[in-house]
Structure 1
Amino acid sequence: MRKTAMLLAAASAVVLGSPAHAQDVAIRGETVHTMAGPAITDGVVVIDDGKIVAVGPAASTPIPAGVTVLTAKVVTPGLVDARSVVGLAGYMNQPHDQDQLDESAPVQPQLRAIDAYNPNEVLVAWLRGFGVTTIHTGHGPGALVSGQTLVAKTVGTTAEQAVIVPQAMVAANLGPAALAEGGKAPGTRAKQMAMLRQALISAKAEEKPPVKKGETKAGPDKPPSLEVQTMRDVLARKLPLMITANHAQDIMSALRLGQEFGIDLVLDGAAEAYLLTDQIKAAGVKVILHPPMTRQYGEYENASFTTGAVLKAAGIPFAYQSGFEGYVPKTRVVLFEAAVAAANGLAWNDALASITIDAAKVIGMDSRVGSLEVGKDGDVALFDGDPFEFASHAVGVVIDGKPVSTAAQ
């Protein structure tokens, strides 16, 4: 992996200053991977007012006069990081920039990621320098229900400018990472499941005050707490419940909960998913798979480089993520993780899909990002070679039609 010392240099190479604004731009690549069909040799992507208006071979796709033209050897959609804590967790790794986990209570679905998201965090710019244009980020592991997630573009100087989906999912965690010590709850896996069930059952129950003596009907409804309202949104399938579960027994508990309550469930981490492909496929859930290069100890002791290939062969929708990284620089890079998967059984195109169109599908953003198609956001990554080759560089990044980086990282 590229040296951590590149962090500040990569960030400083980006020209940003103000939020991205739409403009007319065309990108020409020796190879254009649209992720909506076969790669195009000598292809062109034309963006107008922030949206893609034309994609095709240069011979049949005219570039309008007067537009900014960028060129590269390889062009791909802007990369999509399907699970991160960047923007809540900062690169300094100090209490003042670590907002991804509040340990004051085990169940806090009401915590909104947008209230803690810092678009000016240097790690956001760092990821952008590798071609990442969209991140699904928010509260991380360490608590039974740690809070919510959001979806943002990797531009903007305020959360309002950057965030495109302020409430994306509710983040829950099963297994050792979410167990409490010192006699506090939850102390066992059974207690974890009981507390999750209780949170959902409490949200399902109507909160009407009892009828007083002499009255014929109850008074006005009591406004639900933020916690209850959030879990009601989960029950109503307005918000998916994303459960981080790595051991097979925890994955099965998550699937059981999803079936019991009929909620939209997304599996996160899923280190031992290769043991349960039949069950995961039958449940119809999506998987945000752990980074292949995650350190294989603790909950990840049985993680495998080949799990992506196994899930793909089983027909299970999945995407790769940078995930939560406890050590500096506090994040991985999905580009490198997909490259490792491509070297361990996952076809090259499927590896690229896992951080573009498939990632967009998993987080529900495929109508806007993840592929180079007419009508989608003008998010494009430019490389000077095969993106999965270590010697290649992201030499340009376009977000919503604005070139936000044109320097080699």
Structure 2
Amino acid sequence: MLFLKNAEIHTMVGETIENGQILIENGKIKAIGKEVKCPEGAEVIECEGGFVMPGLIDAHSHLGMWENAMGFEGSDGNEACDPVTPHLRAIDGMNPKDEFFREALEAGVTTVASGPGSANVIGGQYAIVKTHGDRIDDMIINESFAMKCAFGENPKRVYNAQKKSPSTRMATAAILRENLAKAKEYAAKKDRANGDLEKMPAFDMKMEALERVIRKEIPLKSHAHRSDDILTSLRIAKEFDVDITLDHCTEGHLIVDYLKEGYQKGIIVGPTMSSRSKIELKNLTFDTPGILSNAGIKIAIMTDHPVIPQEYLMVCVALAARAGMKEEDALKAVTINAAEIIGIGDRVGSLEEGKDGDIVVYTGHPFDLRSQVKNVIIDGKVVK
């Protein structure tokens, strides 16, 4: 058992608990409040003067896919020789021994959604993992929670260089449509077969993966920066009646009314603490999260690690708050909002009884750059 006492507890789902206590047992939060008693034999963490909140969650990262201080040998995020690779799984390319995992953990990041990059139109399956462990299999929350797809400059650039399609936005959209249509037909054939192996379609590993999107078991995870690319991704999702999350959404502040009207899933914004390295980032601004959040849209903030190192997730949040995002909404953007958008809000993202014991203790307010991460707890174990 683990007992945190004299804590200023920011639960992310209610009022701040002053001078509160948290009891963790068997990896889960057993009790939280002002009157919780410390059981005999429990390990005690003194939190007086600190700021206690849920472990941070990055809803869009590539942690473990591009390794620290390595070139090609540690680059496993893009299989950039085929624009359609839905059968690839992040967990098969993710190295938990990468130094970036330790740096993320020590910065209070306890959960990440990590997966393929944006070279391909359909890049493969994202996973959600904790940041502590020796074996990725022991760190998994969901090994395949979303299917990465990409719009805009990246697929164009990669395949134009190879003199292959897509080299236009039209082709990117057409390739995605073609494969969603094939997956829909594949799923229909399986349904008609009704378990009869003689009538089943020939096994297709790519279609097996995309079938889960068609059946709404997992969403598309859409890489889209420019406003027209964002709207194209929504158009295709509506056409095929599939779920989708909007990731990056750099020009989301330019189309707020359309997003409010036609999209209610939540938006994952970033990486904003970076240079305008390509044309589709010319309207990059830290105003975006606040404008969308203040309009009533659920927002998560991401690093897109290694674009922004994973350890600077909270710095991104502080800068969004400085640019006009309400403080509470900004903190929710890397806790409960991030958890709910990626479908794990029942386990993490807030400090409530029954949820995973993932907690970070700061020496002061996390927006103050002088504050340090004093303790990190994952699944009820003190890992820092």
TM-score, length of structure 2 as denominator length: 0.93
For this pair of structures, how many residues does the alignment match? 371
Residue aligning to 1:38: 15
Q: 1:52 aligns to what SS in structure 2? A: strand
Residue aligning to 2:206: 227
Residue aligning to 2:193: none
Contact 2:122 2:150 in 1 (8 A): yes
Contact 1:78 1:131 in 2 (8 A): yes
- Which letter maps to 1:184? K
Residue aligning to 2:349: 370
- Equivalent-residue separation in structure 2 for 1:341 and 1:33 (angstroms): 19
> Does residue 1:317 correspond to 2:278, yes or no?
no
Deviates more, 1:291-300 or 1:74-83: 291-300
Residue aligning to 1:296: 276
Residue aligning to 2:237: 258
**1:231 offset after TM fit, Å?**
1.1
The two structures, once aligned, show a CA RMSD in angstroms of 1.8
- Which letter maps to 1:286? G
Contact 1:150 1:166 in 2 (8 A): yes
> Does residue 1:404 correspond to 2:383, yes or no?
yes
- Equivalent-residue separation in structure 2 for 1:301 and 1:51 (angstroms): 44
Relative to structure 1, the CA distance from residue 162 to residue 109 in structure 2 (aligned partners, 3 Å threshold; closer, same or farther) is same
- Which letter maps to 1:82? A
> Does residue 1:348 correspond to 2:327, yes or no?
yes
Residue aligning to 1:49: 26
- Which letter maps to 1:401? G
Residue aligning to 1:189: 169
**1:165 offset after TM fit, Å?**
0.5
Relative to structure 1, the CA distance from residue 94 to residue 331 in structure 2 (aligned partners, 3 Å threshold; closer, same or farther) is farther
> Does residue 1:202 correspond to 2:182, yes or no?
yes
Residue aligning to 2:267: 287
Among residues 9, 34, 41, which one is paired with 1:66 in the alignment?
Answer: 41
- Equivalent-residue separation in structure 1 for 2:197 and 2:5 (angstroms): 67
- Equivalent-residue separation in structure 1 for 2:137 and 2:167 (angstroms): 38
Contact 1:51 1:400 in 2 (8 A): yes
Relative to structure 1, the CA distance from residue 32 to residue 260 in structure 2 (aligned partners, 3 Å threshold; closer, same or farther) is same
- Which letter maps to 1:159? I
More helix by share: 2
Contact 2:118 2:150 in 1 (8 A): yes
Among residues 296, 301, 306, which one is paired with 2:287 in the alignment?
Answer: 306
Q: 1:166 aligns to what SS in structure 2? A: strand
Contact 1:291 1:334 in 2 (8 A): no
- Which letter maps to 2:256? T
TM-score, length of structure 1 as denominator length: 0.87
- List structure 1 runs of 4+ shifted beyond 4 angstroms: 329-332
Relative to structure 1, the CA distance from residue 285 to residue 31 in structure 2 (aligned partners, 3 Å threshold; closer, same or farther) is same
**1:147 offset after TM fit, Å?**
1.1
- Which letter maps to 1:311? L
Unaligned runs of 5+ in 2: 191-195
- Equivalent-residue separation in structure 2 for 1:330 and 1:353 (angstroms): 20
Contact 2:186 2:207 in 1 (8 A): no
Relative to structure 1, the CA distance from residue 290 to residue 302 in structure 2 (aligned partners, 3 Å threshold; closer, same or farther) is same
- Which letter maps to 1:354? A
Unaligned runs of 5+ in 1: 1-23, 210-216
Contact 2:4 2:44 in 1 (8 A): yes
Contact 1:381 1:396 in 2 (8 A): yes
Contact 1:89 1:330 in 2 (8 A): no
Q: 1:80 aligns to what SS in structure 2? A: strand
Contact 1:255 1:280 in 2 (8 A): no
Among residues 215, 238, 241, which one is paired with 1:236 in the alignment?
Answer: 215
Residue aligning to 1:96: 73
Contact 1:90 1:330 in 2 (8 A): no
- Equivalent-residue separation in structure 2 for 1:394 and 1:94 (angstroms): 30
